[in-house]
Chains A and B, each alone.
Chain A
C-alpha cells in the first residue's frame, strides 16, 4: 500500500510537470505570436525612420529595406527649405505649451471649487459644464470660427489657444484629484490662518502635481497633433502648426522626394515620443484611469 501511495504521488507530480510544460509551451507560442504582431505594428514607424534617411533615388526601393542604408541626413535640412518648417515647429511648441499651461490654471481652479468649496448652484453648474463633454468640436466650429474672425484673431495662434483654455475633461479630472486630499490638511492650514487662495496654492496644488502631469501630457499630445481647427483657422504657411506643415510638405512631393516628407514626419513625432518614453507611467495611468473608473 505504502508503495502505491508513493507511486500515486509520483504520477501526480508527472501530471503536474506535464501540465506545466504544456502551459509553458503554450505561453511560448503565444509570446512569439504577440511579438510578431507587435513588430508588424511597429513596421510603419521603422519604415518611416529608415526611409527618411535614404537618398531620393532609393526612397521607393522594393523590396523594402528596414534599416537605414544611405544615412542621407541632408533630407532633414531640406525639410526646412521646402516649407517654412522652423516657424511651423515654433508655432506648434508655442500653441501646445500655451494651451497646456492655460488648461492647468483654469482646470485646477475650477476643479478645486467644484471639489472643495460650497456655493449656491454648484451642482447645476458642474452638470452643465460636464454636458459639454458630449458636444463634438464640429457642432461648435462654425460659430467659433465666426467669433474668432470677429475678434480679429483669424490666422493667428491665439485663435487656437484661447478657445482651448476651457476643458470640461480637465475640470472633471482635477476635481477627482482634489476630492482625494484629506480634510485634515485643510483644517491644519486654516488653523495656521491660511485663506482659501493660500490653501489652494500651498496645500492642494503641491499635492496634485501627479494628476497635473497626467493632464498636461494628455493635453499636450492632443494639441500637438490637432488638425481640424488649425486647418480652418490658419491660412498663411508661416502660421501653420506641424500637422498642417506635413500636409504642405506632402504637397511638394510632386517635385521633391518622399524621404524629405518622411523626415518631416519624424521631426514632428520626436517630442511626443520623448514624452512618452520618459513619462510612460503617467500616460498609461492617465488613460487607464479615465477608462476603468469611467
Chain B
C-alpha cells in the first residue's frame, strides 16, 4: 500500500520534474559551465575552455559597467516609486467608504498591468515624444519645459522608470490594499486615543504592521527590476548612447546578436548571483526591521 502510494507520488511529479531538470536545473548548471568557455557560434568554432577569462573581460567592459549602473538606478527609481505611491494610495483608498468608487479606483490602477510590457512601451514612447507628445503638451501648457524624454541621455532612464511604474504600480497596490484590510480597526482606534494624527498612524501603525508585505513586494520588485529589458529595448534601444542600456540588453546583444555564447553566459551568471545576493540581503535586513504580527 505504502509502496503503491510512493510510486503514484513519483508518477505525479514526473512531468514537472522532467521539465525542471531539462529546462531549469540543467540550464542553470550549463550556464555557469558555459561562462568558462569561449564559444563563438558565428565563427562556427568549437567551445574552448578559457577558465575565468570571460570574467576578467567583464571587469574591463566599460559598456557593461554602464549597464550595471543604469540597471541599479532603474531598480532604485522604479521599485522606490512603485512602493511609495502604491502604499500611499492603498492607505488613502482605505478612507473611501463608497464601494463603487473603490471598485473604480482599484480597476483604474490595475488595468495597465494587464497590458504587455511591449504594448506599454509602444504607447508611452509616443506620449513621451518631444515635439508631438501629449505629456510635453500639458507640461508646456503649465509653463514647464519641453523635455527630450527619449532623446537626451539624462532623461531616457527616467522615461523608462516612469513607463515601468505606470504598468507595475497596480500589482503592489492590490497587495497593499489586501494588507491594509488585514490590519485591525482596534489598532487605529488605540492610536487615535493616544492622539495620533494621520501621519503618526501611517508611520506607527500601518507601515510596521505591513512590513512583511512591504518586504515581499520589495523582493519581487527588485528581482523583476534587475531583469528590465523590454521597456528600454523598445522605447530607447538603450540610447541615446548607452544611457538606458541595461544588463539584460547586454546579455541579449552578446549571446543572441553577436553569438558570443560564453561571454553572454558569464554576464547571465553574474546577474543570477546578484539577484540571489539581493534576495538574501533583503531577508537578512528583514530580521532587523520587519515586524511579524
Contact = CB atoms under 8 A, between A and B. Distances in A.
B108 to A, nearest CB: 4
Given A129-B20, A145-B256, A147-B22, A225 B123 contact: no
B289 interface: no
B216 A109 contact: no
Interface string A96-115: 00000000011101101110
Contacts of B105: 34-35, 38
A117 B96 CA distance: 46
Contacts of A41: 108-109, 112, 166, 169
B122 A136 contact: no
Nearest to B254: A142
Given A291-B179, A292-B182, A118 B108 contact: no
Contacts of B177: 288
A119 B279 contact: no
B276 A134 contact: yes
Interface of B: 2, 4-10, 12-13, 15-17, 19-20, 22-28, 30-31, 34, 89, 92-93, 95-98, 101, 104-112, 114-119, 122-124, 126-127, 132, 134, 137, 166, 169, 171, 174-175, 177-179, 182, 212-213, 216-217, 223, 226-227, 229-230, 234, 248, 251-252, 255-256, 261, 264-265, 268-269, 271-272, 275-276, 279
B36 to A, nearest CB: 13
A228 B31 contact: no
Interface in A196-253: 196-197, 200, 221, 224-228, 231-232, 242-244, 246-247, 250
B17 to A, nearest CB: 7
A42 B111 contact: yes
Given A247-B234, A288-B174, A225 B108 contact: no
Interface residues of A, number: 96
Contacts of B9: 113, 117-119, 122
A60 B132 contact: yes
Interface of A: 26-27, 30-31, 33-35, 37-39, 41-45, 47-48, 60, 62-64, 105-107, 109-110, 112-114, 117-120, 122, 125, 128-129, 132, 134-147, 162-163, 165-168, 171, 196-197, 200, 221, 224-228, 231-232, 242-244, 246-247, 250, 258, 261-262, 265, 268-269, 272-273, 275-276, 280, 283-284, 287-292, 294
A174 B213 CA distance: 22
B16 A109 contact: yes
Given A110-B13, A114-B13, A141-B251, 8 more contacts: A30-B95, A34-B105, A139-B271, A141-B27, A246-B118, A273-B111, A284-B174, A291-B175
A92 to B, nearest CB: 10
Contacts of A114: 13
B175 A109 contact: no
Nearest to A291: B175
